[in-house]
Chain A
Amino acid sequence: MKKSVVRKIVVAGVLSAVAAFLGLTRLGYIPWFSGASLTVMHVPAIVGAVLEGPVVGAVIGLVFGLTSLLQAAIAPTGPLDPAFVNPLISVLPRLLVGPAAFLAYAAFRGKLEIPALGLSGIVGSLVNTMLVVGALALFGFLTWDLFWPIVTANGLPEAGAAAIVNVAVVAAWKGVARRGGKASIAAEEDR
Chain B
Amino acid sequence: MKDLEFFRNATLGQYVDSPSRVHAFAPLTKYLGLLALAAPALASRTTYAALAVMALGLLVALAAGVRPAFLLRGLKPALPALALIMALQILLSWPGDASAALLRLGPIDVTVAELANSARIAARLAALMVTLGLFTATASESQIVHGIEDILAPLSRLGIPAHRLALVVGIAFRFIPILAGEAELIVKAQASRGADFGSGTRNPFRRVKAWLPVLVPLMLRALERSESLVEAMEARGYSGGLRSRLASYPAGRGEKALRIALVLFGSLSVFLASRAPSPWGT
Contacts and interface: CB of A to CB of B under 8 A. Distances in A.
B211 A59 contact: no
A6 B238 contact: yes
A183 B164 contact: no
Given A78-B88, A168-B216, A173-B220, A16 B228 contact: no
Interface string B218-251: 1110111111111101100011100000000000
B125 interface: yes
Nearest to A161: B208
B55 interface: no
Given A6-B238, A185-B225, A17 B175 contact: yes
Nearest 5 A-B pairs (CB), nearest first?
A: A13-B171, A5-B240, A17-B175, A183-B227, A14-B226
Given A10-B229, A183-B227, A25 B180 contact: yes
Q: Could you tell me the dominant secondary structure of chain B's interface residues?
A: helix
Given A13-B168, A185-B224, A4 B219 contact: no
Interface in B175-218: 175-176, 178-180, 183, 204, 207-208, 211-212, 214-216, 218
B81 interface: yes
B204 A12 contact: no
Contact of B230 (A4, A33, A51): A4
B174 to A, nearest CB: 8
Contacts of A165: 212, 215-216, 219
Interface residues of A, number: 54
A154 to B, nearest CB: 12
B215 A32 contact: no
B222 A15 contact: yes
A63 interface: yes
Given A10-B171, A74-B128, A184-B224, 9 more contacts: A5-B240, A9-B171, A12-B168, A13-B167, A15-B222, A17-B173, A21-B179, A74-B42, A169-B216
Interface in A72-86: 73-79
A17 B172 contact: yes
Interface of A: 4-7, 9-18, 20-22, 24-25, 27, 30-33, 38, 40, 43-44, 47, 51, 59, 63, 73-79, 157, 161, 164-165, 168-169, 172-173, 176, 182-186, 189
Nearest to A14: B226
A17 B175 CA distance: 6
Contacts of A22: 215
B48 interface: no
Q: Could you tell me the dominant secondary structure of chain A's interface residues?
A: helix
B175 A169 contact: no
B124 interface: yes
A10 B233 CA distance: 9
Contact of A14 (B175, B183, B208): B175
B240 A75 contact: no
A164 B207 CA distance: 15
A184 B180 CA distance: 20
Contacts of B211: 27, 30, 40
Contacts of B6: 25
A173 B223 contact: yes
A102 to B, nearest CB: 17
B10 to A, nearest CB: 10
Given A30-B207, A43-B215, A78-B88, A9 B222 contact: no
A11 B239 CA distance: 14
A12 B128 CA distance: 27
B92 to A, nearest CB: 6
Contacts of A17: 171-176, 178-179, 222
Contacts of A40: 211, 215
A5 B164 contact: yes
A165 B6 CA distance: 22
B176 to A, nearest CB: 5
Contacts of A33: 204
